[in-house]
Amino acid sequence: MRLFLDTANLAHIRHGIELGVVTGVTTNPSLVSKEGKVDYKALVKEICAVVPGPVSTEVLSLECDGMVDEAHEIVTWAENIAVKIPATTEGLKATSVLAKEGIKVNMTLCFSLNQAILAAQSGAAFVSPFVGRLDDIGENGMDLVVDIVDYLSYYNLPTQVIAASIRHTAHCLSAAKAGAHIATVPYGVLLQMVAHPLTDIGVRRFTDDWNKVMGNAGILPQQ
């Protein structure tokens, strides 16, 4: 399972890339708004320059024609853009048009297997089931990820699943076990994934034991 960062914060994106574990980014209008009143195009271009893989950039129009026009503009900003389009009837129409043109679409706001089936049929490169938001209304969001992964692999379809609306590290584990191709995680969750108290205790103990006997002698020759 690949990891994307679910943010529009450049410092967090740079750190994720530096760690060598983040290969893509997903943004949405709410995440961009969190960064203040920014120049959307300039911000997306900067993110795309830092990130090696796809950067999902959402359209704002609600109608097919507007979505297609916006997508045509957005893909000129960088080569690694995936256009994010909501799983609505207008979104499906737009995705069918864009997919035929070879534009990568991430069908977002997916809350049912039916929507995912339609996303795959319309040619979306990615489909994003929103796990946390389904959990919020008393459903099991990860069950949807499992169902979509099963469906796509049963029919050998190329659409990739991005487990989205990830709220905690247990979601990451379950997404990986479910066979999601990608999980898009908030920066805080990414940091929690590496954290373990036994690792911290272990590192401290190794250092103390070494220092007790070796003093400050290190591995590199002293200058």
- Which residue in 75, 113, 78 sits closest to 94, CA to CA? 75
Query: φ, ψ for residue 221 (rounded to 5)?
Result: -60, 140
Q: Tell me: does residue 181 bind ligand E4P (CB under 6 A).
A: no
Enumerate helices (H) and strands (E) in the chain, giving the number of each: 11, 8
Q: In this chain, which stretch among 39-47, 68-76, 94-102, 130-138 interacts with ligand E4P, using CB under 6 A? A: 130-138
Q: Give the contact letters, 1-30, x = binds to ligand E4P (CB under 6 A), - = no.
A: -----x-------------------x-x--
* DSSP of 119-163: HHHHT-SEEEEBHHHHHHTTS-HHHHHHHHHHHHHHTT--PEEEE
Nearest residue (CB) to ligand E4P, 163 versus 198: 163
Nearest residue (CB) to ligand E4P, 128 versus 174: 128
Catalytic residue positions?
A: 84
Asked if 182 contacts 174 with a C-beta cutoff of 8 angstroms, the reply is no
Candidate list 3, 152, 164, 172; residue touching ligand E4P; CB under 6 A? 164
Candidate list 57, 95, 115, 128; residue touching ligand E4P; CB under 6 A? 128
* DSSP of 85-124: EESSHHHHHHHHHHHHTT--EEEEEE-SHHHHHHHHHHT-
Nearest residue (CB) to ligand E4P, 72 versus 133: 133
Q: Tell me: does residue 115 bind ligand E4P (CB under 6 A).
A: no
Six token digits for residue 34: 């969190």
Q: Tell me: does residue 130 bind ligand E4P (CB under 6 A).
A: yes
What is the nearest approach in angstroms of ligand E4P to the Cβ of residue 63? 21
3-state secondary structure at position 171: helix
Interface residues with ligand E4P (CB under 6 A) are 6, 26, 28, 31, 108, 128, 130, 132-133, 164-165, 184
